[in-house]
Amino acid sequence: MYLVCGEALFDFFSQSDDNGANSKSNKIGYQAVAGGSPFNVAIGLRRLGVDAGFFAGISNDYLGKRLETVLDEEGVRDDFLIHFDAPTTLSMVAVGADGSPKYSFRGEGCADRLLLSKHLPTLDAKVRGLHVGSFSLVVQPVADTLMALVQRESGQRLITFDPNVRLNPAPSIDLWRKQVAKFAEHAHIIKVSDEDLHLLYSDTDPETVAQGWLQNNCQLVIMTRGRQGATVFTRELGHWSVPAREVKTADTVGAGDTFQAALITFLTERQLDTPDSLPTLSRETLTEMLNFAVAAAAVTCTRVGPDLPYRDQVV
């Protein structure tokens, strides 16, 4: 079982104006979709056939109960959820002409941010690994809580990490750099987009950043590059890339989360999801892993919103 940690929220996607650009209507249509990067990863794992649990603060309000219903319907374990009488975070999403989303968050004082060290779960041997990422890394007190969990567990099970930078909840890029550096010290696999790397370290080339991360616990750094595919950086085998799949893109919402879930799935299916297994992976196996993750992400890109694929849909 894999335990995913972080925020759960509702994305409110703005809808196109059917009345045309000259409409004088004062109404804006939205479609509300359960989401949050870690939430999506947990669901993505289940759809790909991996047992998953979700450690998060969840609201007792209507939207929080709806998030729980979605987790239950998808088969994600909910016994790691911590309930709070606080609102559910809302994310307002506008999708650009190229399919890329722009986010604006309403989350101050919301349930997903309120996890404390006293809420940390006791994990047994069934939990093979942990995944952390997104703005739960930088907002308090949940950031310190997840840091304590990762520090406690990094010597015992696989830790995967995706910064998934969102500046709206925490605009300070210096804070993001500080927190990413702290979590990167304990992660065994770091997955990061080229856009996030540019935001974090605009004056440093990706290989230099990756080699810095590989000096600690990290064994693999994987950079997603949108339509250019993905690149893996290793300690002993160097770095190389695989191409993206050619698809008709509806939008890219959830593609990175799909890629992350697929990486974990690939390793889990082959019983390679341990820190000790990573240095043994050959170039051929890593290339196969990247191609599987690229294929999974491509499926999501053909759909509107974070509609992640099932295992039989990834070929």
Band the pLDDT of 305: cuts 50, 70, 90. Answer: confident
Give the per-residue pLDDT at 102: 75
CB atoms near residue 99 (< 10 Å): 15
Which residues does residue 95 pair with via DSSP β-bridges, in sequence order?
A: 101
Strands (E), 179-278: 189-193, 220-224, 230-234, 239-242
pLDDT tens-digit series, residues 144-160: 999 999 999 999 999 99
Can you list the domains of the chain with their CATH numbers?
2-14+31-310 (3.40.1190.20)
Which residues partner with 298 through β-bridges?
none
The answer to whether 277 and 230 have CB atoms below 8 angstroms apart is no
Q: What is the pLDDT of residues 173-183, one digit of tens each?
A: 999 999 999 99
pLDDT band at 23 (very low <50, low <70, confident <90, very high): low
Q: Give, for 42, the enclosing helix (H) or strand (E).
A: helix 37-47
Residue 296: which of 304, 308, 307 has the closest Cα? 308
Q: Give me the chain's average pLDDT, please.
A: 93
What's the pLDDT score for residue 95? Answer: 74
| pLDDT score at 17 | 57
Residue 2 scores a pLDDT above 70 = yes
Q: Say what the pLDDT of residue 24 is.
A: 59
- pTM of structure: 0.92
Q: pLDDT over 90 for what percent of the chain?
A: 83
Work out the pLDDT band at 287, boundaries 50, 70, 90.
Answer: very high
Report the half-sphere exposure of 138 (CA within 13 A, side-chain side).
23
Quick one: pLDDT at residue 92?
A: 84
Report the SS3 class of residue 188: coil
Contact yes or no for 48/262 (Cβ under 8 A): yes
Of the candidates 295, 304, 180, which has an alpha carbon nearest to the alpha carbon of residue 246?
Answer: 295
Which pLDDT score, from 0 to 100, does residue 103 have?
76
